[in-house]
């Protein structure tokens, strides 16, 4: 090899190394390290650190305040990445409430996986909306089917009349949902939930089984009910100014890390959901577990229709999102038969 060519290669390598100089990025998420958002964050961190000189500092739930605090920090650029339940995001990005609207998403995990990988809503429409809020959407993924835990058994909206049900703060649709279901919704942070169940401030709550088992919510209630009304979902995004300022190689690194972590969590979330209910059955054998019949669900679905209509009526953007998500889900059902 000629000396001039060799020098050229060395210089190119030095320039590449300079553009990939080591940085430390901050990533906060709304769950524990062993929970789905934590598993995603860890997989993301591992991929970045194995394929670059960058480091990622992870901040689990509570480390930097409540969900609203983390969102403000992410939008201000104090955080580089944020993982957050879609249920918390409706107050900031109203279109995200579509993932909370009851009886829109299926309970079939194969359909869900196909939807989140291929959906036009997820991959084309929402990223543009996130950009307007100073964020770069990297992923949305399901954490598990919602289960409702209560002190008393219920089979219809009439059974929930007057019951105080804790819902995540920040989402108007969650309030509308439990009002439609006959209950009295009580927006409340996760940190206040356990105390509220112990003191009777609330009569029940909803979460995936992985959370119900991990935090002993089954020990604070008497009945777990699968209504089939939805999944618990999470999103991951980056501060847009930070992302836009990255070089091509680092942008690709972040996007590939997101794809890798998405693959990991889609496999793990299904296991965690099954493990959660399995442990509840084993450790709390007297705990009652109900699954509503199709006839019983039909009554809830009818009540949920006005919530779906309400979401779509709030803005032209919401209606476009709702119309497209139905087309995306029809495609998912067709391709997973």
Q: For the chain, what is the mean pLDDT?
A: 91
Q: What is the pLDDT of residue 7?
A: 42
Q: What is the pLDDT of residue 185?
A: 97
Strand, coil or helix: what is 33? Answer: coil
- Asked whether 231 and 146 are in contact (CB, 8 A), the reply is yes
Dihedral sign, CA of 101, 103, 107, 109?
negative
CATH code assigned to 24-335: 3.40.190.170
Q: What is the pLDDT of residue 193?
A: 94
Interstrand relation of 164-167 and 184-187 (parallel, antiparallel or unpaired): parallel
Strand, coil or helix: what is 185? Answer: strand
In whole angstroms, give the CA distance from residue 174 to residue 166: 10
DSSP string computed for 127-173: HHHHHHTTEEEEEEEEEEEEEEEESS--SSGGGGTT-EEEE-TT-HH
Q: What is the pLDDT of residue 3?
A: 44
Q: What is the pLDDT of residue 68?
A: 85
pTM here is: 0.86
Distances from the Cα of 152 to the Cα of 46, 278, 287, angstroms: 44, 22, 11
Weakly modelled stretches of the chain, pLDDT under 70: 1-20
- The single-letter DSSP state of residue 86 is G
Q: What is the pLDDT of residue 47?
A: 98
- Asked whether 178 and 165 are in contact (CB, 8 A), the reply is yes
Q: Where are the domains of the chain?
A: 24-335
Q: What is the pLDDT of residue 125?
A: 98
Q: What is the pLDDT of residue 49?
A: 98
Q: What is the CA radius of gyration of the chain?
A: 22
């Amino acid at each position: 090899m000629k000396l001039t060519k060799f020098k050229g290669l060395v210089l190119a390598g030095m320039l590449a190394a300079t553009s990939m100089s080591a940085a430390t990025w901050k990533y906060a998420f709304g769950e524990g390290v062993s929970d789905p958002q934590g598993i995603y964050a860890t997989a993301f961190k591992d991929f970045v650190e194995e394929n670059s000189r960058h480091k990622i500092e992870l901040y689990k739930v509570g480390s930097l305040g409540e969900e609203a605090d983390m969102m403000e920090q992410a939008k201000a650029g104090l955080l580089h990445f944020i993982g957050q339940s879609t249920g918390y995001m409706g107050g900031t990005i109203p279109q995200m409430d579509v993932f909370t609207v009851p009886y829109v998403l299926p309970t079939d995990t194969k359909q869900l996986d196909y939807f989140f990988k291929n959906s036009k809503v997820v991959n084309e429409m929402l990223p543009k909306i996130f950009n307007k809020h100073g964020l770069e959407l990297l992923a949305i993924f399901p954490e598990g089917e919602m289960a409702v835990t209560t002190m008393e058994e219920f089979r219809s909206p009439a059974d929930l009349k007057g019951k105080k049900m804790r819902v995540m703060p920040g989402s108007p649709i969650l309030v509308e949902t439990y009002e439609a279901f006959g209950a009295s919704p009580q927006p409340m942070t996760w940190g206040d939930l356990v105390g509220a169940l112990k003191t009777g401030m609330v009569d029940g709550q909803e979460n995936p089984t992985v959370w119900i088992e991990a935090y002993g919510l089954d020990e604070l209630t008497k009945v777990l009910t699968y209504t089939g009304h939805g999944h618990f979902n999470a999103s991951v995004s980056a501060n847009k100014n930070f992302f836009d300022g990255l070089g091509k190689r680092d942008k690709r690194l972040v996007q590939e890390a997101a794809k890798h972590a998405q693959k990991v969590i889609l496999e793990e979330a299904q296991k965690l959901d099954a493990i959660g209910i399995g442990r509840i059955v084993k450790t709390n054998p007297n705990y009652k577990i109900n699954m509503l019949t199709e006839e019983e669900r039909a009554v809830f679905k009818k009540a949920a229709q006005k919530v779906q209509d309400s979401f779509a009526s709030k803005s032209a953007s919401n209606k476009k999102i709702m119309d497209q998500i139905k087309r995306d889900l029809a495609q998912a059902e067709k391709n997973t038969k």
